Amino acid sequence: MDAGLLSFLIFSAVKIGVVFGAVMTMFAYAVLAERKISAAIQDRVGPNRVSFPLIGSIPVIGPFLTRLGIWQPLVDGVKAFTKEDYTPEHVRKGWFWLAPMVAMVPSVLVLAVIPFGSSMDFGKVFGLDFGRQAMVIADLNVGILYTFGIVSLSVYGIVLAGYASNSKFPFLGGIRASAQMISYEIAMGMSVVPVFMIIGELNLSDIIAYQAENGWLAFPLFASKMNTDAFVLLPCMVVSFLIFTVSAFAETNRLPFDLPEAETELVSGYNTEYGSMKFAFFFMGEYIAMIAGSAMIVVLFFGGWTLPFWGLDQTADTLVKGVLQILIFVGKLSVFLGMMIWVRWMLPRFRYDQLMDLGWRRILPLALANIVLTAVLIYWNHAS
Amino acid sequence: MATTREIEIGDSVASVAASLAEGHGIREIDGDRMVLNMGPSHPSTHGVLRIVLELDGEVITKATPDIGYLHRGDEKIAENMTYTQFIPYTDRLDYLAPLANNVAYSLAVEKLLDVHDKLPLRCQYIRVICCELARISAHLLGLGAFAMDVGALTVFLHTFTEREKIYSLCESLTGARFTTSYTRIGGVARDTPAGWIDALEKFLLEVEVNFDESEKLLTRNRIWVDRTRNVGVISREDAIDYGITGPNLRGSGVDYDVRKAHPYLIYDQLEFDVPLGSVGDCYDRYLVRMEEMRQSVRIIRQCIKGLPGGRDNQGGEAVNLDDGKIVLPPKAKVLTSMEELIHQFMLVTQGVNAPKGEIYFGAENPKGELGFYINSLGGGTPNRLKIRAPSFVNLSILPELLKGCLISDVVAILGSIDFVMGECDR
């Protein structure tokens, strides 16, 4: 086999493994963050009981980590895996088993095109020349189209769960999900069109490269060269960012758009009949979709892995810098993840018709108007 | 000539029951409608209310409430025990405001005994404080649960923090956090413990902050307003026709508050406003409850100020009626004095010797007018005791109110009506 192909295969496998592992860890700690942040908002303590055998008995640090709930995700995982996998009598078996997987897989697939760092030079390892490798699993030219294609699949898992449960509350949840997610997907798609009109590329790595040079789209301060064009286009980008964020909430079924779940109305919505790991898959799907959504926000509007100081917006020339850029990306992503969690605990839920109204009659026209305005401003920028 | 009329009971409750009996699988499909069974165990039916909804898509075409899952036969139980023995049962009516139930029941019995206007002033003040504390407690829960049903979970936990403080106050006053059984016929079980009024004052300061916080989260929140305004509108006429009372009635703009219309205890000497709604929708009912809590704080402050005997009763004011035939005498005297011994014996074995007759007494409870109708043939037990439970009456408008709403509105309406099944089913 050709050495280049071999190193590509090995490195891709490593990247997939590392990204998947990292995202699973982030999922686990996002759940912990959700519980801790909600506890802080609601004047509670949150998980603070699980202690790890040896580390727990280290003076100061052990109890501190316990109080932080650091070990909680571990026992949560153990609990979900060891719980009896119960399938109710009345469900449509095959679909019932399929639904959680269909719900989770798309959100994981989206991660494939997200650049989480610049390229890093690994040189020779075990006699194989890895050379420079981009920190993205698949550097697709149609990255964003791929994203939207995959995201639209995630609705099937929920609709399928509603159908397969063969029970009324999940069924209503499934119906709501289908209408909601399709509506907001359109708004989401429209909201990113201005981004591509400005940059002229669909490849997410190129979008980051453009932002490194011209300043972040939704926050063009500290650009390496001050760009007046960016400030003219700023209002459009901010609107795009807001629409994209709102749609991301709706796509991930988070409050105030958690109608498919709506625990006070539909008991637990589409996942009412699910338990143990099958339920955990829906949960994972939701959280990974949140992570992917935050990652998309960061990539599209906030410069991805770049930071406009200390040369961190350039391709990494050392491994340390490369790792630092990955951490920057994770940091930015966490901010938006935290925002998603924060919003959930502050707002009531929309009603079904209000949700549709907001999606079709407010957000979609706004997104369309935004496209037109961006076009006009770009034309004006070029003319002047 | 006698005419007979067939009453057809072809409602959806029966049809659901029948299809349940058939076994599983997709049930009914009655034309193009879906029958959805909401409750008795459902997160937002607040206990065990069951509503059978007939849906056309998400729109409700028919709603049939089905009550009685918490029926314990309280009214029958009352016929088999003395008046005093029934007090603990009143805790379990509106279990969110047991103190107010205790007071209402005791006042009803005292009205039968014709001593209700002879109660010592300190007793009346303490009872008013109890009533208003119960009102705050019940409204806080009602508000929190309402917000939670609409999706704002945080409000619920914030209000619960304050309720927990009320429970602590109840505990030091009555010995129990939840089932207080505080009043006695002709008085209260015990005077306020030392320092209790100070604790109460501190609580009032804290709870007012909480009201502001809850209001900040909700009152001008666009989603909250969208979800509640013009939803579940009860017109003035409907509210009166259905006999709705309490904040729900006042939310519809009817100025009726038992505390003002038929003052009992010392309510006629206190200054407070009765908030009224204008539209009668969920939002109005929310605002009315919010303001009622503030008014309750105002009332309690006045009571603390005017409390006879001072905070810890340094003045030695009586808290019970000075009548050995109604109120148990102090234990020390029972052991030393013949007359007191006889009173104690008679009260414990026979109960108060009520005259023959019948009375109705209604008090303004958090959920509405809680009424007790007592029919007495004389002696220590009632011949018949009927409880007019406000939740029961308030729920009667549900079929009318839910028709044409969306499923999401059902939870908002249920939350805004703020009922307690313990009281409704009795």
Chain B residues inside the 8 Å CB shell of A45: none
Which band of pLDDT confidence, cut at 50, 70 and 90, is reported for residue A1? low
Record: contact A348-B58, CB cut-off 8 A: no
The whole-number pLDDT of residue A103 equals: 86
Chain A residues inside the 8 Å CB shell of B218: 348
The whole-number pLDDT of residue B286 equals: 92
Average confidence (pLDDT) over A167-196:
86
Is the predicted pLDDT of residue B149 greater than 60, yes or no? yes
Chain A residues inside the 8 Å CB shell of B20: none
> Of B106, B146, B55, B84, which is closest to residue A348 (Cα–Cα)?
B146
> Of A117, A251, A116, which is closest to residue A192 (Cα–Cα)?
A251
Which band of pLDDT confidence, cut at 50, 70 and 90, is reported for residue B247? very high
For residues B82 and A139, which has the higher predicted lDDT (pLDDT)?
B82
Sort strands A117-121 and A132-135 into parallel, antiparallel or unpaired.
Answer: antiparallel
How far B27 CA lies from chain A's nearest CA (Å)?
10
Average confidence (pLDDT) over B93-98:
88
Which band of pLDDT confidence, cut at 50, 70 and 90, is reported for residue A356? confident
Question: How far apart are the C-alpha atoms of A378 and A303, rounded to whole Å?
Answer: 20
- Point out the residue among A38, A264, A354 whose CB comes nearest to the CB of B149: A264
How far B207 CA lies from chain A's nearest CA (Å)?
15
Cβ-based neighbours of B40, under 8 Å, separated by 6 or more: B47, B48, B49, B50, B66, B69
Chain B residues inside the 8 Å CB shell of A267: 42-43
Is the predicted pLDDT of residue B24 greater than 50, yes or no? no
The continuous run of DSSP H or E covering B396 comes out as none
- Point out the residue among A41, A89, A255 whose CB comes nearest to the CB of B151: A255
Record: contact A349-B161, CB cut-off 8 A: no
Cβ-based neighbours of A171, under 8 Å, separated by 6 or more: A162, A163, A165
**B33, B154, B286: best mutation site toward chain A, by most A Cβ within 10 Å?**
B154
Chain B residues inside the 8 Å CB shell of A347: 151-152, 221, 223
- Point out the residue among A41, A43, A349 whose CB comes nearest to the CB of B150: A349
Record: contact B44-A265, CB cut-off 8 A: yes
Question: How far apart are the C-alpha atoms of A328 and A343, rounded to whole Å?
Answer: 23
Average confidence (pLDDT) over A157-164:
88
Is the predicted pLDDT of residue A162 greater than 70, yes or no? yes
How far B153 CA lies from chain A's nearest CA (Å)?
7
How far A300 CA lies from chain B's nearest CA (Å)?
28
Chain A residues inside the 8 Å CB shell of B157: 42-44
The whole-number pLDDT of residue B168 equals: 92
ipTM of the complex: 0.84
Chain B residues inside the 8 Å CB shell of A255: 151
Which band of pLDDT confidence, cut at 50, 70 and 90, is reported for residue B23? very low
Cβ-based neighbours of B314, under 8 Å, separated by 6 or more: none
The whole-number pLDDT of residue B10 equals: 55
Kindly list the structural domains of chain B, giving each domain's residue range(s) and its CATH number in brackets, ordered by start. 1-30 (no CATH), 74-425 (1.10.645.10)
Is the predicted pLDDT of residue B12 greater than 60, yes or no? no
Dihedral (CA of B264, B266, B271, B272) sign: negative
The whole-number pLDDT of residue B5 equals: 61
Is the predicted pLDDT of residue B388 greater than 50, yes or no? yes
Average confidence (pLDDT) over A204-210:
82
The whole-number pLDDT of residue B2 equals: 60
Mean pLDDT (chain B, rounded): 86
Is the predicted pLDDT of residue B177 greater than 70, yes or no? yes
For a pLDDT cut of 70, what percent of chain B falls above it? 93
How far B409 CA lies from chain A's nearest CA (Å)?
8
**Residue of chain B with shortest Cα separation from A40:** B154
Question: How far apart are the C-alpha atoms of B419 and B401, rounded to whole Å?
Answer: 15
**Based on C-alpha coordinates, what's the Rg of chain A?**
22
How far A33 CA lies from chain B's nearest CA (Å)?
16
How far A259 CA lies from chain B's nearest CA (Å)?
9
The amino acid at residue A274 is Y
Chain A residues inside the 8 Å CB shell of B147: 348
Q: Which 3 state secondary structure label does DSSP give B246? A: coil
Cβ-based neighbours of A145, under 8 Å, separated by 6 or more: A202
Structure tokens that stand for A284 in this block: 């994972």
Under the phi-then-psi rule, with left for phi > 0, alpha for psi from -120 to 50, and beta for the rest, what region is A210? alpha
**A255, A257, A342, A351: best mutation site toward chain B, by most B Cβ within 10 Å?**
A351
pLDDT digits over A340-349, tens only?
A: 888 888 888 8
CB B54 within 8 Å of CB B63:
yes
For a pLDDT cut of 90, what percent of chain A falls above it? 5
Average confidence (pLDDT) over B352-366:
89
The whole-number pLDDT of residue B25 equals: 39
Average confidence (pLDDT) over A278-284:
87
Average confidence (pLDDT) over A224-250:
81
Is the predicted pLDDT of residue B297 greater than 90, yes or no? yes
Average confidence (pLDDT) over B388-409:
89
CB B139 within 8 Å of CB B365:
no
Chain A residues inside the 8 Å CB shell of B58: 172, 352
Record: contact B227-A168, CB cut-off 8 A: no
**B36, B408, B413, B414: best mutation site toward chain A, by most A Cβ within 10 Å?**
B408
The whole-number pLDDT of residue A223 equals: 63
Size of interface A-B (CB pairs under 8 A): 86
Which band of pLDDT confidence, cut at 50, 70 and 90, is reported for residue A227? low
The whole-number pLDDT of residue B219 equals: 87
- Point out the residue among B43, B161, B411 whose CB comes nearest to the CB of A43: B161
CB A262 within 8 Å of CB A80:
no
Which band of pLDDT confidence, cut at 50, 70 and 90, is reported for residue A300? confident
**B219, B223, B224, B227: best mutation site toward chain A, by most A Cβ within 10 Å?**
B223
Annotate chain A with three-state secondary structure. CCHHHHHHHHHHHHHHHHHHHHHHHHHHHHHHHHHHHHHHHCCCCCCCCCCCCCHHHCCCHHHHHHHHCCCHHHHHHHHHHHCCCCCCCCCCHHHHHHHHHHHHHHHHHHHHHCCCEEEEECCEECCEECCEEEECCCCCCCHHHHHHHHHCCHHHHHHHHHHHCCCHHHHHHHHHHHHHHHHHHHHHHHHHHHHHHHHCCCCHHHHHHHHHHHCECCECCCCCCCCHHHHHHHHHHHHHHHHHHHHHHHHCCCCCCCCCCCCCCCCCHHHCCCCHHHHHHHHHHHHHHHHHHHHHHHHHHCCCCCCCCCCCCCCCCCHHHHHHHHHHHHHHHHHHHHHHHHHHCCCCCCCHHHHHHHHHHHHHHHHHHHHHHHHHHHHHHHHC
**Residue of chain B with shortest Cα separation from A349:** B151
- Point out the residue among B147, B157, B408 whose CB comes nearest to the CB of A265: B408
For a pLDDT cut of 90, what percent of chain B falls above it? 25
Which band of pLDDT confidence, cut at 50, 70 and 90, is reported for residue B311? confident
Is the predicted pLDDT of residue B136 greater than 90, yes or no? yes
**Residue of chain A with shortest Cα separation from B162:** A43
How far B41 CA lies from chain A's nearest CA (Å)?
10
The whole-number pLDDT of residue B343 equals: 87
Record: contact A351-B25, CB cut-off 8 A: no
Average confidence (pLDDT) over B138-154:
89
The whole-number pLDDT of residue B6 equals: 60
Which band of pLDDT confidence, cut at 50, 70 and 90, is reported for residue B294? very high
For residues A56 and B307, which has the higher predicted lDDT (pLDDT)?
B307
pLDDT digits over B320-349, tens only?
A: 888 878 888 888 888 888 888 888 888 888
Instruction: Pick the range with the lowest mean pLDDT from A141-145, B198-202, B383-387.
Output: A141-145
- Point out the residue among B25, B44, B58 whose CB comes nearest to the CB of A352: B58
**Residue of chain B with shortest Cα separation from A170:** B36
pLDDT digits over A301-328, tens only?
A: 888 888 877 777 777 777 788 888 888 8
> How does DSSP classify residue B44?
T
Contact residues of A toward B, CB < 8 A: 38, 41-44, 89-90, 166, 168-169, 172, 255-256, 258-259, 262-267, 345-354
Cα atoms in the Cβ-side hemisphere of radius 13 Å centred on A175: 10
pLDDT digits over B110-127, tens only?
A: 988 888 888 888 889 999
The whole-number pLDDT of residue B203 equals: 92
